[in-house]
Amino acid sequence: MKRHIVLLAVLLAFSACKREGPGTPPPAAGIATAPAPAAPSMPAPVVSGLPDFSPLIERQGQAVVNVVTTRTARGNALLSDGARDPLSEFFRRFMPEAPERGAPEQRGQGLGSGFIISQDGYILTNAHVIADADDVTVRLSDAKREFKAKVVGADKRTDVALLKVDATGLPVVTPGTSEKLKAGEWVAAIGSPFGFANTITAGIVSAKGRTLPDESFVPFIQTDVAVNPGNSGGPLLNLRGEVVGINSLIYSQTGGYMGLSFAIPIEVAMDVARQLQTQGRVTRARLGVRIQEVTNELAQSFGLQSATGVLVAWVEPGSPAHKAGIVPGDVILKFNNEVIDTATKLPRLVAGSRPGTPATLEIWRKGASQQITATLGELPPETTARKPATSPQVRPNTLGLALSELPPAQRKALGIDYGLVVEDVQGAAAETPIRPGDIIVGVNQQRLASLDQFNQILSQQKPGSAVALLVRRGDDMLYVPIKIRG
């Protein structure tokens, strides 16, 4: 009420300033006066008032549930976010604190949220909410009904889980679309922070399409809506009362709300739920490449006019990409006519396709663009890693790289034709991410066949130009640009 009174006083004062008061003197006689310029028209206010969220919670609140899990654990094994190091704290899951390390085996309880998407009892929540749970109980917002829930399935890659309770005639949410969301738009979250059921908090959309560490398949919605432990799995709603996302992550150095919250777009969640319900698992297509951003230096090395597309750093032998003829050094510009403007866009487009379907890729290779068709495979649930060995022999190089040739047996073990092992890093190379133990397998868009070939390529470069070294480290491949010094 006080806020409204102050605002009214400000508006009255502003209008009073625009009118001449009774004490305003007239212009002096005999002095010509120019006509007063017309006052500029004032633009309409951008924000006309604060929204009222009460109808929203009245319509949708009954379909939001409290998800209670029990599990047996020893020590701090109940922690859903792993060890208490700075990296794991960076994006902490919304689960309560667990017993201290070294505590005896005990029954622990976790609290989260969810929302009903069908009258016959299907419920969406986060995969981490029900992870390793022995029992899952769903409590409705009226606090009078609760049901034992069956976990239909969970997808860790998107952090989405589907539950089922034996009930009919349940209240359901209204699904919307995140595509129409705009930065600055009002949104609200309903959930059970710290166990306080049916709590609503509000804020705005801060950004869309956020990419977070180790999250390749979800274009997160970032908001400043206050969410805390227990909000996980609850809905993010727009002012029309439509669910646009599932609250999943927060940025926190304390475990509580710090102004940065992240939600899974509802389209992603509903697609996962549909697959879990119909086939019990989620299938995604795969191409079989490892990629990286194209920097200005890399674009210069490959003859691109601008830093666009994604650079193929490695192609898995026998993969769809390998069968289609894609090679390291190719720059993928488009996938099925979709322009690839970020390195995170390609994995999402590929994963969102159906395994076994053909995909058309526009690539940049050796100064020209061309089209390649690849038949997509299916993404396996897990990948395996192999550890390479290195040779102790040392050879100098003008870039400051001490290199040795990788023995044939180790080449075979790594599945490469040729490689140069980095034994020491000095000079210009010391300013790059290259480090001892890395293996150089290519320069620009050429695969290496000998140390002499490597040195010859370098000798042909002009001072000030850049070369891109294709570096293998473990199972990862990365192009590293180095400028040639005069």
Q: How do residues 250-301 score in pLDDT, each as one tens digit?
A: 887 777 788 899 999 999 999 999 999 998 889 999 999 988 889 888 888 8
Cβ atoms 434, 423 nearer than 8 A: no
Q: Which residue has the higher pLDDT, 9 or 426?
A: 426
- Considering only 102-111, 113-122, 128-137, 378-387, which range has the smallest mean pLDDT? 378-387
Type of residue at 61: G
Q: Quick one: pLDDT band at residue 241, thresholds 50, 70, 90?
A: very high
pLDDT band at 65; cut points 50, 70, 90: very high
Take residue 273 and report the two structure tokens written for it. Answer: 């739920």
| Average pLDDT taken over every residue of the chain | 80
- pLDDT computed for residue 167 by the predictor: 94
User: Does residue 322 have an active-site annotation?
Assistant: no
CA–CA gap between residue 151 and residue 162 (Å, rounded): 6
Q: What are the C-alpha distances in Å from 142 to residues 50, 138, 335?
A: 28, 12, 48
Return the number of other C-beta atoms located less than 10 Å from residue 457's C-beta: 15
Establish how many alpha carbons lie within 13 A of residue 423's alpha carbon, considering only the half-sphere containing its beta carbon: 13
Between CA 448 and CA 454, with CA 449 as vertex, the angle to 5 degrees is: 55
d(CA 309, CA 297): 14
Query: What is the biggest distance separating any 2 CA atoms in the chain, rounded to whole angstroms?
Result: 106
Which of 170, 158, 156 is closest to 117 using CA atoms?
A: 170
Q: How confident is the model at residue 50 (pLDDT cuts 50, 70, 90)?
A: confident
Residue of 155, 159, 330, 438 marked catalytic: 159
Q: What type of residue sits at position 110?
A: G
Task: Taking residues 5-15, report their average pLDDT.
Answer: 36
Distance CA 202, CA 222 (A): 13
pLDDT at 226: 94
Task: Provide, rounded to the nearest whole percent, the portion of the chain with pLDDT above 70.
Answer: 78
Distance (Å, whole) CA 3 – CA 5: 6
Mean pLDDT check: name the lowest of 120-129, 326-335, 428-437: 428-437
The mean pLDDT of 100-122, rounded to a whole number, is: 78
Task: Answer yes or no: is pLDDT of 341 > 60.
Answer: yes
Q: Using the predicted structure, report yes or no on whether residue 184 has a pLDDT greater than 90.
A: yes
Rounded distance between C-alpha atoms, residue 320 and residue 324, angstroms: 6
State the Cα torsion 345-347-348-350 to the nearest 10°: 120
Please state the rounded mean pLDDT for residues 338-349. 87
Tokens of 251: 């940025």
Asked if residue 25 has pLDDT above 50, the reply is no
* Ranges 44-48, 191-195, 233-237, 309-313: which has the least confidence: 44-48
**Model confidence over 404-415: pLDDT tens digits?**
888 887 787 778
Query: What pLDDT score does 361 carry?
Result: 96
Q: Which has the higher per-residue pLDDT, 259 or 62? A: 62
CA distance 221 to 125: 16
Q: Give the type of residue at 457.
A: I
Q: Is the pLDDT of residue 387 over 90?
A: no
Measured between alpha carbons, how far is residue 14 from residues 10, 17, 18, 48, 295 in Å?
A: 6, 5, 7, 17, 52
pLDDT tens digit string along 219-232?
899 999 999 999 99
> Out of 232, 252, 261, 353, which one is annotated catalytic?
232
Write down the H helix ranges in 190-265. Answer: none
Give me 442's structure tokens.
């290519």
Q: Is 232 among the residues known to form the active site? A: yes
pLDDT of residue 414: 79
pLDDT score for 394: 52
Residue 162: what pLDDT? 97
- Give dist(CA 396, CA 241) in Å, integer: 66
Q: Is the pLDDT of residue 383 over 80?
A: no
Total residue count of the chain as it appears in this document: 486
Q: Is 0.75 surpassed by the pTM of this model?
A: no
Which of 80, 128, 141, 353 is an active site residue? 128
Q: Which residue has the higher pLDDT, 466 or 262?
A: 262
**383 or 351: which leads in pLDDT:** 351
- To the query of whether residue 128 is one of the catalytic residues in this protein, the response is yes
Asked if 291 contacts 253 with a C-beta cutoff of 8 angstroms, the reply is no
Q: Are strands 289-293 and 310-315 parallel, antiparallel or unpaired?
A: antiparallel
Query: What are 292-326's pLDDT values in tens digits?
Result: 889 888 888 888 988 989 999 888 888 999 999 99
User: Does residue 87 register a pLDDT over 60?
Assistant: no
* Whole-number pLDDT of residue 47: 55
- The distance of Cα 99 from the centroid of its chain, to the nearest Å, equals 31
**Cβ within 8 Å of residue 166, ≥6 positions away:** 121, 147, 148
Is pLDDT at 95 greater than 60 in this prediction?
no
Residue of 143, 152, 83, 99 whose CA lies nearest to 124: 152
The structural domains of the chain, ordered by start, are 56-279 (2.40.10.120), 285-378 (2.30.42.10), 401-483 (2.30.42.10)
Separation CA 342–CA 292 (nearest Å): 9
More confident residue, 213 or 407: 407
SS3 72: strand
Q: Could you tell me which residues come within 8 angstroms of residue 191 by beta carbon, excluding any fewer than 6 positions away?
A: 64, 113, 199, 227, 230, 231, 232, 233, 234, 235, 247
CA R_g for the chain: 30
pLDDT of residue 75: 44
Determine the pLDDT at residue 42: 55
Cβ(454)–Cβ(431) under 8 Å?
A: no
pLDDT score of 39: 54
